[in-house]
Structure 1
Amino acid sequence: MALVPCQVLRAAILLSYCSILCNYKAIDMPAHQTYGGSWKFLTFIDLVIQAVFFGICVLTDLSSLLTKGNDSQEQERQLKKLISLRDWMMAVLAFPIGVFVVTMFWSIYIYDRELVYPKLLDNFIPAWLNHGMHTTVLPFILIEMRTTHHQYPSRSCGLAAVCTFAVGYILWY
């Protein structure tokens, strides 16, 4: 069975997130040496979430390709668990946090750049990396939504998980 374009696209998106994360971590910024390092920035946490999510997507694609034609019920059960994790992560973390980061960053940036991305950061973070962290997240997640059918959790479970993440982040910060 040949690879479907959306499977190749997911692998390319995963590689782009890994590249963005590696380039971001290679930057020597004073903020990275303070308490919490990069983990205090919601943008960085979102990049990690997106990379893990697309990693799970690629793993799901590979697993489904490798188990095609197999009659093993155990492999089918494991694949269904992986698909369930992928769908849960999409609904609870990847989409809501990704959309929140993109819309909040650009809304605040338009209102007053200095509040969210001071000009001083231009000396550390190149423009392409800024867009990789704050722009590409939205089109990538929208492409994923359009190319793959997801089973979403119930509204109450999804909201509880998103709120738990938000409270956890606020307590951490």
Structure 2
Amino acid sequence: MSSSELANRSSLIYPRMLGYVATLVLHVITAVHITTTFTREAANDAAVKEFHDNQHKFMTVWNVYMQMLYAALGLSCDVLSLSNEGKISSLQQTLKKIRDPMFSNIVWPYAFTTSFVFWSAYSYDRSLILPPSVDQTLTWGANHVIHTAIMPVVLWELVFRPRKTPETHMANLMMMYGYAAGYLTVIVSSYMNTGTWVYPILNILYGTIYFYIFLGVSVLLTQIFYSMQWYVTSILWKNLKDIKKVN
């Protein structure tokens, strides 16, 4: 690889790595903060205890885990690329096969869907999505890290990692909706076991047509956000000639 090609690649790889590190640091610090603020007093609050017991059932938590996993994958790929002076090793190729669809089909669309649905419900009536007593452990700052900062970090990735729009979206959509089906299975199973939904808004809507409208709108939003990434990609990288030199 020529020195000019290395410089071109490095001009993108280092900002990408900065984004990955920032993502990991933000989420790790927030997770530690939430854990350490879950004091004995907060644990005595039934609503807070239920919130913590159900953490693994929240889409927000799933999204945070996926962002952290993706950041680790992306960082690993870029470190390997730098250490191999641009040559793609078999390990790096394997990691890329996981990284690329994970971003397109899960990390990007669900970051926007999670943020949009959460803040829409929260702005209308916060009790629909989170009980007020949860503020004891989920502070204003932590709330914005897991529900607001999740969008800038994926936008950063889109800006600094060149991509091409796929010729067909069938496999991507199957993965995206498969992920949604997996999450829906978890929360439906939880309802069948406990008799309540993990989100208060679902308890209110269940048994009415609005329950299905809410789920349908959430799915539609995910589809819209999925499609949006390719529109933005086509604008950012419309003149890209050789994606392999900088990716």
TM over 0.5: yes
Normalised by the length of structure 2, the TM-score is: 0.61
Distance 1:33 1:18, change over 3 A: closer
Alignment correspondent of 1:43: 60
Distance 1:156 1:22 in 2: 39
Which of 147, 154, 167 is the matching residue for 2:181? 167
Distance 1:33 1:121 in 2: 9
Task: Extract unaligned runs of 5+ from structure 2.
Answer: 1-5, 39-47, 188-247
1:67 aligns with 2:80: no
Q: Which has the larger radius of gyration?
A: 2
Task: Extract unaligned runs of 5+ from structure 1.
Answer: none
Alignment correspondent of 2:18: 8
Structure 2 counterparts to residues 6-155 of structure 1, below 5 A: 6-28=16-38, 29-31=48-50, 34=53, 37-68=54-85, 76-150=89-163, 154-155=168-169
Select between 51-60 and 16-25 the one with higher mean Cα deviation: 16-25
CA positional deviation for 1:124: 2.1
Distance 1:69 1:103, change over 3 A: closer
Distance 1:94 1:121 in 2: 26
Q: How many correspondences in the alignment?
A: 167
Contact 2:51–2:134 (Cα < 8 Å) also in 1: no
Contact 1:21–1:47 (Cα < 8 Å) also in 2: no
Contact 1:102–1:138 (Cα < 8 Å) also in 2: yes
Matched to 1:59, the amino acid is S
SS in structure 2 of the partner of residue 5 of structure 1: helix
Distance 1:93 1:103 in 2: 15
Matched to 1:50, the amino acid is Q
Contact 1:99–1:138 (Cα < 8 Å) also in 2: yes
Matched to 1:97, the amino acid is Y
CA positional deviation for 1:17: 1.8
Distance 2:184 2:86 in 1: 47
Distance 1:164 1:78 in 2: 26
Matched to 1:9, the amino acid is G
Contact 2:23–2:153 (Cα < 8 Å) also in 1: yes
CA positional deviation for 1:156: 0.9
Once the two structures are aligned, what percentage of the paired residues are identical? 23
